[in-house]
């Protein structure tokens, strides 16, 4: 099924890191105009140079609520609307038995995975509601549902981000806007496969598959999907 996002205005948080370039490229190919946010200008400008003028770089610190609101207001002001927000901000700390886990990791991960999500969705939700077909998509991980003890802090932050997203879906209920979650495993990007052509990535989630599902969830074809988890975890 061909996915069309022609003339859609989408905001992408964390679009320059890891899976971000693959997702941004797929959304652009489907016809979307993209405001791509990150904390550093360099990677965003590289993304624009690689993909084209449909990418608008936006240097934003989503730990700052004012910055998030200025980003959302700027996108809406330039284009008259915002049709979707994709949250790709990620990071990991873990690998320590739960009884020894450094709880300062919570401060880092809750800020990165939860607070940025809260600030971004609070800033963009009014715009997504206004158009009657707004879309929000969160990238999450299997740890949120099936946590392992060495990853307890990470899993807790991911679970919190999923809970926030499901509450947002409840806010959107009956409005035409939707909020959904894409659950992935370890991600295999095109760059990773090129760097390690002999490595077995069969248990990884391909970045291209993630991008395709996100494009679908941002489209009219997914209008009836709200508060859902789509699981893409390879052969894991």
**Lowest model confidence (mean pLDDT) among 33-47, 143-157, 198-212:** 198-212
Tens digits of residue pLDDT in 106-140: 999 999 999 999 999 999 999 999 989 999 999 99
DSSP secondary structure of 95-106: -S-GGG--THHH
Check residue 73 and give its pLDDT: 98
Q: What is the pTM of this model?
A: 0.94
Query: Domains, the chain, ranges and CATH?
Result: 9-232 (3.40.50.720)
Beta bridge partners of 58: 37
Tens digits of residue pLDDT in 37-47: 999 999 999 99
- Tokens standing for residue 123: 């800033």
Q: Evaluate if residue 198 carries a pLDDT over 80.
A: no
Q: What is the mean pLDDT of the chain?
A: 93
What letters, b where the CB count within 10 A reaches 16 and e where it falls short, cover 104-135? ebbeebbebbbbbbbbbbebbbebbeebebbb
Tens digits of residue pLDDT in 158-169: 999 999 999 999
Check residue 235 and give its pLDDT: 52
Residue 8: exposure state from Cβ atoms within 10 A (0-12, 13-18, ≥19): buried
């Amino acid at each position: 099924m061909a996915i069309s996002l022609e003339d859609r205005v989408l905001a992408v948080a964390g679009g320059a890191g890891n899976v971000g370039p693959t997702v941004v490229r797929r959304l652009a190919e489907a016809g979307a105009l993209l405001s791509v946010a990150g904390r550093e200008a360099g990677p965003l400008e590289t993304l624009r140079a690689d993909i084209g003028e449909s990418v608008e770089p936006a240097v934003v610190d989503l730990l700052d609520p004012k910055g998030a609101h200025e980003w959302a207001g700027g996108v809406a002001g330039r284009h008259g609307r915002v049709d979707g927000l994709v949250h790709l901000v990620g990071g990991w700390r873990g690998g320590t038995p739960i009884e020894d886990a450094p709880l300062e990791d919570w401060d880092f991960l809750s800020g990165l995975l939860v607070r940025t999500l809260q600030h971004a969705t609070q800033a963009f939700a009014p715009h997504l509601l206004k158009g009657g077909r707004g879309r929000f998509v969160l990238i999450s991980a299997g740890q949120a549902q099936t946590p392992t003890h060495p990853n307890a802090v990470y899993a807790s932050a991911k679970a919190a981000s999923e809970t926030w997203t499901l509450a947002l879906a409840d806010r959107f209920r009956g409005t035409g806007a939707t909020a959904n979650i894409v659950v992935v495993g370890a991600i295999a990007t095109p760059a990773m496969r090129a760097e390690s052509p002999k490595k077995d990535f069969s248990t990884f989630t391909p970045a291209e598959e993630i991008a395709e599902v996100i494009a679908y969830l941002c489209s009219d074809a997914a209008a009836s999907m709200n508060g859902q988890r789509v699981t893409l975890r390879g052969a894991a």
